[in-house]
Structure 1
Amino acid sequence: MIRAIPVGIGHYLPDRIVPNSHFEDFLDTSDEWIRARSGIERRHFAAEGETTSQMATHAANAALADAGLTPADIDTIIVATSTPDLTFPSAATMVQDALGMETGFAFDVQAVCAGFVYALSQADAFIRSGQAARVLVIGAETFSRIMDWTDRTTCVLFGDGAGALILEGQETAGTPQDRGILATDLHSDGRYRNLLYVDGGVSTQSTGHLRMQGKEVFRHAVEKLAATADASLEKAGLTHDDVTWMVPHQANIRIITATAKKLGLPMDRVVTTVADHGNTSAASIPLALSVAASDGRIKRGDLLVTEAIGGGLAWGSVVLRW
């Protein structure tokens, strides 16, 4: 069986670090309030003029260097983002150009915070079908551009950044002990679209700001994230006991903790970066993967389950062996 095997990982964070105390100057909030409700201590904001595709390109170059590959070795680029530079063309084609890659194909996936999981699933399908041998999957966001800075319930939660993972098709034995993506599970339910959305867009001729019903999102998140993780593990023929690391979407430490508890996983088997990065939407999972791989926590052969939920509502999970 051909599996999509991880061969390179990298990330990029903007230089500007914004601590919780930054918001105390213009909002009725405090460092203690933000930490207690989200687990966030700081986040990175893109510089003026710094775009999603530029951050994605930095992350892509880091992943290529990690893999020992060049842009010519890549067949496909998929960028998961809800904050592209322009309405079109895609951020992925901008990354393609910036890398000097003149062959293959590139496109964006928009599933908000679940975008990277959706993109991994598409990359896996391309590799399994033989349409691509190597796929560069990137999550990149500049959510600081769509914040309402008067809404203390949302603007303190989000940050900017990018992470990139290179997947390569390799022949395996076709067992649950294989390296690579072993199973994926995707869902959406548009009935809940008003729980998390941006109140503007191209056809409404406005940029808009992020709006969220936090309590309702929390309620759906824990239930749906645990269920999709269970589904992916079952598809892979594995159980909770086989999991080395859960690498969740870094939305909120309370959601992460509650989901881990529902799955029966102790927090010392959960990768968390939310304190340093905030919620970077589609970038949060590849950022967490890159940080944990670079510091030695994630090692070759480790079994990972990663899950995310975002606006739509859209949610899903991936089980992969590193």
Structure 2
Amino acid sequence: MSTTINTVISGTGSYIPENIISGNEFINSTFFENGSLLEKENEEIISKFSEITEIIERRYACPELLSNHIGAKAAEKAIEDAGIDKETLDYIIFCHNFGDIRLDSNRTDILPSLAAKVKQQLGIHNPDCVAYDLIFGCPGWVQGAIQADYYIKSGDAKRVLVIGAETLSRIIDPHDRDSMIFSDGAGAVIFEGKDSLAKAGILAHKTETHSLNHAGLLTMGKGFHPDETSGNYYLKMNGRKLYEFAVIQVPQVIKKAIDKAGLSVEDINIVFVHQANGKMDTAIMKRLFKLYGKETVPDNLVPMTISWLGNSSVATVPTLLDLVLKAKVEGYQVKTGDVAVFASVGAGMHINAFIYRF
């Protein structure tokens, strides 16, 4: 029998910032909407926000750390976990949205690319290790994994490091209540090509871009404070429309990936979904199972970290994976043969998913 090249996960790592930001940190904030001060008391605003998103805490990076620094920290852990020689990496793909942002600057720096900065920090000499950045909204890391699969199965690469990192705390509008959603963090994964008689690793994937009618759901815009004169632009989103879009479209993309793998939703043992909004992720799962004629979602299928880590964009999925594999998410584990869904949605609007057998 002939062997198959499988794209498998051989190592994971994450960096979770030490600074814990609770809802109380926003008690003295002044929130505006459409140029007017919100009339509700901040206690009510914060409480309602937590109820809707399920976010209680989020993490902010230390002032001296940039996205490339925390990405490198996660990468070092992934390389160590994989037990490989860093010089054998064929690609480093760094997935992010805003590059490096220094505290209180609101200016992005992507020269050189964050991947090149990480390669330098890791001390990799090999010029055949190609380092580049991927800008794809929150689904960036999932798309990086898909690119890694293409490289490996084409024979172009043996090992690919895919990093997702962001310091969103430095690009949010302090006068926008949606700013409470976002956080900082980094996750990294080593993908390797391994020959096997059995099919494992990445089984199938699907990506879609819905730009024509939905590109404006996540954009950069002016601050909400009416006296804002800095000229800075901040991360802005149409939360209600984004929720409606995601709940309808994401389950369909996940189903296409599952069907492409020749499986059914009943074959799925665990789902690593972008930690965007707790209630939204729950609604996505319910809609997915309804597409298969199922009325209930099995317990302990979807591990969640959003309540204590917030939404760190491209970092949420690889961080979640690392925490589950390291037994740091209570009630969740994976074993050989388990089938997982990895899925995300974000600015673009992009949606993607891949199916993976451990």
- Structure 2 counterparts to residues 76-91 of structure 1, below 5 A: 76-85=91-100, 86-91=109-114
Tell me the residue number matched to 2:221. Answer: 199
Tell me the residue number matched to 2:48. Answer: 33
Cα 1:158–1:130 change in 2 (3 A) is same
Q: 1:310 aligned to 2:342?
A: no
- Indicate if the aligned counterparts of 1:260 and 1:266 stay in contact, CA closer than 8 A: no
- Indicate if the aligned counterparts of 1:293 and 1:299 stay in contact, CA closer than 8 A: no
CA distance in 2: counterparts of 1:49 and 1:198, whole angstroms: 25
Q: 1:213 aligned to 2:238?
A: yes
Q: Residue by residue, what CA displacement relative to the aligned partner does 1:66-116 show, whole Å, maximum 9, x if unpaired? A: 111231121111111002122322111111110011221011111111111
- Indicate if the aligned counterparts of 1:260 and 1:267 stay in contact, CA closer than 8 A: no
CA distance in 1: counterparts of 2:6 and 2:71, whole angstroms: 25
SS in 1 for 2:258: helix
Q: 1:259 aligned to 2:281?
A: no
Counterpart among 28, 34, 47 of residue 62 in structure 2: 47
Counterpart among 284, 308, 311 of residue 279 in structure 1: 311
TM-score (norm 1): 0.94
CA distance in 2: counterparts of 1:279 and 1:29, whole angstroms: 21
Q: 1:120 aligned to 2:164?
A: no
- Indicate if the aligned counterparts of 1:183 and 1:235 stay in contact, CA closer than 8 A: yes
Cα 1:185–1:207 change in 2 (3 A) is farther
CA distance in 2: counterparts of 1:41 and 1:304, whole angstroms: 27
Q: 1:180 aligned to 2:201?
A: yes
SS in 2 for 1:113: coil
Question: Displacement, 1:278?
Answer: 0.6
- Indicate if the aligned counterparts of 1:17 and 1:45 stay in contact, CA closer than 8 A: yes
Q: Residue by residue, what CA displacement relative to the aligned partner does 1:271-298 show, whole Å, maximum 9, x if unpaired? A: 1111111111000000111111111613
Tell me the residue number matched to 1:203. Answer: none
Counterpart among 245, 255, 262 of residue 230 in structure 1: 255
Which sections of structure 1, spanning at least 5 residues, go unmatched?
A: 201-205
CA distance in 1: counterparts of 2:348 and 2:285, whole angstroms: 23
SS in 1 for 2:24: helix
Poorly superposed stretches of 4+, deviation over 6 Å: none
- Structure 2 counterparts to residues 27-176 of structure 1, below 5 A: 27=30, 28-30=41-43, 31-85=46-100, 86-103=109-126, 104-152=129-177, 154-173=178-197
Question: Displacement, 1:65?
Answer: 1.4
CA distance in 2: counterparts of 1:151 and 1:303, whole angstroms: 39
Cα 1:207–1:304 change in 2 (3 A) is farther
Q: Residue by residue, what CA displacement relative to the aligned partner does 1:168-205 show, whole Å, maximum 9, x if unpaired? A: 0011336xxx22111111111222111111238xxxxx
Q: Residue by residue, what CA displacement relative to the aligned partner does 1:143-173 show, whole Å, maximum 9, x if unpaired? A: 1111000001x10000000001111001133
Cα 1:157–1:69 change in 2 (3 A) is same
CA distance in 1: counterparts of 2:232 and 2:343, whole angstroms: 29
SS in 2 for 1:166: strand
Question: Displacement, 1:10?
Answer: 0.9
Whichever residue aligns with residue 265 of structure 2, its letter is H
Question: Displacement, 1:25?
Answer: 2.1
Tell me the residue number matched to 1:300. Answer: 336
CA distance in 2: counterparts of 1:159 and 1:35, whole angstroms: 14
- Indicate if the aligned counterparts of 1:11 and 1:286 stay in contact, CA closer than 8 A: yes
Residues matched between the structures, number: 314
SS in 2 for 1:211: strand
SS in 2 for 1:297: coil
Which sections of structure 2, spanning at least 5 residues, go unmatched?
A: 31-40, 101-108, 223-230, 290-296
Tell me the residue number matched to 1:7. Answer: 10
Tell me the residue number matched to 2:211. Answer: 190
Tell me the residue number matched to 1:243. Answer: 268
SS in 2 for 1:107: strand
- Indicate if the aligned counterparts of 1:139 and 1:164 stay in contact, CA closer than 8 A: yes
CA distance in 1: counterparts of 2:156 and 2:244, whole angstroms: 39
Whichever residue aligns with residue 322 of structure 2, its letter is S
Which has more radius of gyration? 2
TM-score (norm 2): 0.84
Question: Displacement, 1:17?
Answer: 0.9
